[in-house]
Amino acid sequence: MPSRSGILYLVSGPSGSGKTTLCRRLADEGEARYSTSCTTRPARPGEKDGYDYHFLSQDEFAEKIRQSAFLEYATVHGNSYGTLLSEVTEHLANGVDVVMDIDVQGAKHVRNCTDPRIRTALVDLFVMPPSEEELRSRLTGRQTDAPEVIALRMKNALAEMEHWPSYQFRLLSDSREYDYARFKSLLLAERMRVSRLIS
Ligand code: 5GP
């Protein structure tokens, strides 16, 4: 039996906030397992199936819904995204912390989840870009997306940013290192929470 069950570290924020980098680094350092989502969007250059995402067809995604395989799923920027239960529940039961990078709709589903194991495991954080100008320049600088995609992401980002008060924690992005220090500290602190150790 593990000494405590795992923490579900849920991270949201607009694209360009740096959240994926934070989540990946935490996983690369072995502090948490990254929950690889399913998506119907095409892979970007350099993205690997099974690592960045499980890239599925619309039919395959619909089949997963029918099988009740998802903890949550949502349509984001016109594509379907979903978190497989298999990426989360067993790891939590084994005392492994799981980090997930999902949008505000998915976060709402997870927050409203009735499963007590998910509810007690959940720590949710919203990563805010430092300013609208900085967000615009980060989205433009990525250069992997077409201008109309960037425009759509900017519009969605501004709408998404209104949701930060629904989260337990907010990280206002600063430098890469300072962001990561705060990001990791939250997980380390949550591990010491007495209710996690005695429940
Ligand atoms: P991208 O296509 O840039 O990788 O991700 C677009 C958005 O989808 C991001 O806000 C990301 O957090 C969100 N996302 C990624 N995986 C999931 C998921 O499994 N569920 C939900 N609801 N959103 C996701």
Contacts of 189 (CB under 8 A, 6+ apart): none
Contacts of 138 (CB under 8 A, 6+ apart): 16, 18, 129
Q: Structural domains in the chain?
A: 8-190 (3.40.50.300)
Atom 23 of ligand 1, residue of closest alpha carbon: 102
pLDDT at 142: 61
Sheet holding 33-34, edge to edge: 33-34, 98-101, 8-12, 122-128, 169-172
In this prediction the pTM is 0.94
Q: Which atom of ligand 1 is nearest to the CA of 79?
A: 2
pLDDT at 124: 98
Q: Would the CA dihedral through 30, 73, 105, 85 be positive or negative?
A: negative
Atom 5 of ligand 1, residue of closest alpha carbon: 15
pLDDT at 199: 62
What b/e readout covers 12-47, taking b as 16+ CB neighbours within 10 angstroms? Answer: bbbbbbbbbebbebbbeeebbbbbbbbbbeeeeeee
Q: Which atom of ligand 1 is nearest to the CA of 41?
A: 2
Atom 17 of ligand 1, residue of closest alpha carbon: 102
Please write the tens of the pLDDT for every residue from 145-178.
788 888 887 888 899 999 999 999 999 999 999 9
105 ligand 1 Cβ < 6 A: yes
**Tens digit of pLDDT at every position of the chain (199 positions):** 678 899 999 999 998 889 999 999 999 999 999 999 999 999 999 999 999 999 999 999 999 999 999 999 999 888 999 999 999 999 999 999 999 999 999 999 999 999 999 999 999 999 999 988 888 888 887 667 788 888 887 888 899 999 999 999 999 999 999 999 999 999 999 999 999 987 6
